[in-house]
Amino acid sequence: MTAVLTWAAWVAGAFAGAAALGGAFRAVVWRLLGGPVARAVRTMPLSAAFGMAVIALYVVVALLAPWIAPFGEREVVGGQYLPWDSTHWLGTDNLGRDMFSRLIYGARNTVGIALATTALAFGVGAALGLTAAATGGWVDMVLSRIVDLLMAIPALILSLLLLTLLGASIPNMILVIALIDATRVFRLSRAVAMDVVVMDYVEAARLRGEGLAHIVRREILPNAMAPLIAEFGLRFCFVFLSISALSFLGLGIQPPTADWGSMVRDTATLITFGDITPLLPAGAIALLTVAVNFVVDWQLHRASGLKD
């Protein structure tokens, strides 16, 4: 019973802390900014404010990693698996590198690579999906069948196969994950655009003699923006988790580069001794994923015109 009450107190404290952080972030941003941004921030739900605060914190840590981390990313500073103390706040890993420093550098590497991969996947997939819907005919058929073929293979298995063939490097990983995730973006953007291309204003643009690029950019894209905004945030989460999973399996970001997925693998043996150190990079992954989803939900709510 005592353990249950303790866990309940921890959960309640976490929710209260998250709400306080979200409220404080909303108040600070509202006072610093003006105009439409201030009005949007003032009506922002606490969940979205908490998500934006977490994302802002991750960005600051990633940008200032060399100044925040007490040790270098690859520097061996002590023995293996040293306990937490005043020098090594989170102990050391299996090679004697400072865990706190590598956790900070992992924010720069993992989040930065995930963002670049998502942008590439989203740009390629959305462009092809909107083009296929606007063009139709054999172009739509060929692109759709290629996407169906790629989506028929489980994403993780296909990633492992391609990275094994091409080699485990950061450029190869970005291209492979972007290729796989672009198929998901293609399916969504094409489905959304198919409902837009039948509208009268699209037909009017065609009758005016507008080209394909103009129709896609000026007529279809603005009216398909709401679900695409949500898809970008969700796709970032999936890419972020895919990179961490591949790193955990040894085919993602390669050592000695700090990465949260590989950090879980390197310190996994500590779990058998009741040490929670491996849970810290896993918790950093989970926290960012939840924060992005909170912001995406809010943006989708605003962009879709829904009312409370």
pLDDT at 25: 72
For residue 85, the model assigns a pLDDT of 83
Residue 100, in any domain of the structure? no
- Residue 102: name the closest of 78, 120, 119 by CA: 78
Q: What is the DSSP string of 86-154?
A: SSSTT-B-TTSBBHHHHHHHHIIIIIHHHHHHHHHHHHHHHHHHHHHHHH-HHHHHHHHHHHHHHHTS-
User: Given this model, what pLDDT does residue 308 score?
Assistant: 47
Q: What is the pLDDT of residue 26?
A: 74
Identify the pLDDT of residue 35.
Answer: 62
* Any domain includes 79: no
**The pLDDT value given to residue 37:** 62
Residue 201 in domain: yes
Whose structure tokens read 């989460």? 237
CA dist., res. 137 & res. 125, Å (int) = 18
pLDDT value, residue 1: 58
Q: What is the SS3 assignment for 264?
A: helix
Listed residue (163, 166, 125) closest to 147, CA to CA: 125
Asked if residue 271 is part of any domain, the answer here is: yes
The answer to whether residue 228 sits within a structural domain is: yes
- Distance, in Å, from the CA atom of 240 to the CA atom of 257, rounded to the nearest integer, reads 16
The total domain count for the chain is: 1
- Classify residue 296: in a domain, yes or no: yes
The low-confidence residues of the chain, meaning pLDDT below 70, are 1-11, 15, 33-41, 302-308
So what's the pLDDT on residue 34? 63
Q: Which domain holds residue 162?
A: 105-303
The pLDDT of residue 304 is: 60
Q: Which residues pair with 76 in a beta bridge?
A: 97
Instruction: Classify burial at 71, counting beta carbons within 10 Å of its beta carbon; exposed 0-12, middle 13-18, buried 19 or more.
Output: buried
pTM above 0.85, yes or no: no
CATH number of the domain enclosing 218:
1.10.3720.10
How many other C-beta atoms can be found within 10 angstroms of the C-beta atom of residue 16? 10
Which residues, in sequence order, are bridge partners of residue 97? 76
pLDDT digits (tens, 9 = 90+) for 110-119: 888 888 898 9
Please report whether residue 51 resides in a domain: no
In a domain, 18, yes or no: no
Q: What are phi and psi of 56, to 5 degrees?
A: -60, -40
